[in-house]
Amino acid sequence: MPNSIPYQSPTKWMFLAESRALLGLRLYLSKFPQLVKMPKGDGHPVMVLPGFMGSDLSTLPIRFYLKRLGYKVHTWGLGRNLAKEEYEEPLRENVEKLFQKYNRKVTLIGWSLGGVFGREVARDMPDKIRQVVTMASPFGGIDEVTSVGWIYEFLRRKKIKELDPELVSRLKLPIPVPCTNIYSKGDGIVSWTVCIDKETTDVPSQNIEVRGSHSGLGHHPGVLFCIANRLAQPEGTWKNFDEAEWEQYLKPKTCLL
């Protein structure tokens, strides 16, 4: 996508529409028999990172599904995500432990702010990371106002606009491992325009659009299908996700969750 996409703040109506995510668990359950027909995993370790204010409970549907496919799935192990910069060092330590335990590279899956942390960990230790998958992660504009920005400012006692400009610039740069960025133009929390890689490099990266809410991505059947597809690729290989597969299996473009 071009580098000149203007920032588009979510509207109040989009924020209010986030409540539709509650209906998504029913669809998750109804589509689960189809989802588990995806290719079985190769058993490599996967860590799932929750979004801002989220805990490991929020990532349970993703983790349960990937465990059923045969991956060694782990929580991030740091409790509720309160947007602390101090998370990065223990996160690197946890990734190192998984790498040593399985003697295999780790896939990181991050929802919202969790994806921002995941990308930075991969930037710092690319030799230990197999790939990164982000879901509505605003790495391209972490300093922009979001629908829940006031919560961050209340907890951190710092205005979003006061974030270190060097850090903000670094977050926008592509990472040195394969990355899939899943986003929705119906996101009522963060703008989709800051959830995509806008630069191309020699390292594979793909931005994939789904139709849904920010809060519903963690149990969105189309998102889970996409994640399973990405994880099933043999290590060291890459083929862009073909959206035609969605039409054949799940048709998530008709899903508004």
Supply the CATH number for residue 232's domain: 3.40.50.1820
Q: At residue 171, what are phi and psi to the nearest 5 degrees?
A: -60, -30
β-strand 45-49 against 72-75: which pairing, if any? parallel
Residue 46 within a domain:
yes
Model-wide pTM > 0.85: yes
Residue 149 within a domain:
yes
Tokens of 130: 């197999």
**How would you write the pLDDT of the chain (257 residues) with one tens digit per residue?**
455 676 666 555 554 555 566 667 788 888 899 899 888 999 999 999 999 889 999 999 999 999 999 999 999 999 998 877 788 899 999 999 999 999 999 999 999 999 999 999 999 999 999 999 999 999 988 766 565 554 445 445 556 666 667 877 888 999 999 999 999 998 888 889 999 999 888 999 999 999 888 888 999 999 999 999 999 999 999 999 988 877 666 654 444 44
Residue 41 within a domain:
yes
Residue 234 within a domain:
yes
Strands (DSSP E) contained in 76-219 are 106-111, 129-135, 179-184, 205-210
Give the three-class secondary structure for 14: helix
Domain of 105, in residue numbers: 12-249
Domain count, the chain: 1
H-run or E-run covering 45: strand 45-49
Residue 3 within a domain:
no
Residue 199 within a domain:
yes
115-145 burial: b if 16+ Cβ within 10 Å, else e: bbbbbbbbbbbeebbbbbbbbbbbbbbbbbb
Helices (H), the chain: 12-16, 24-35, 60-69, 88-102, 113-124, 149-156, 165-171, 221-231, 244-249
Residue 188 within a domain:
yes
Residue 257 within a domain:
no
Q: Indicate the burial class of 4 (C-beta count within 10 angstroms; 0-12, 13-18, 19 or more).
A: exposed
Q: What angle do CA 202, 204, 207 make, to 5 degrees?
A: 125
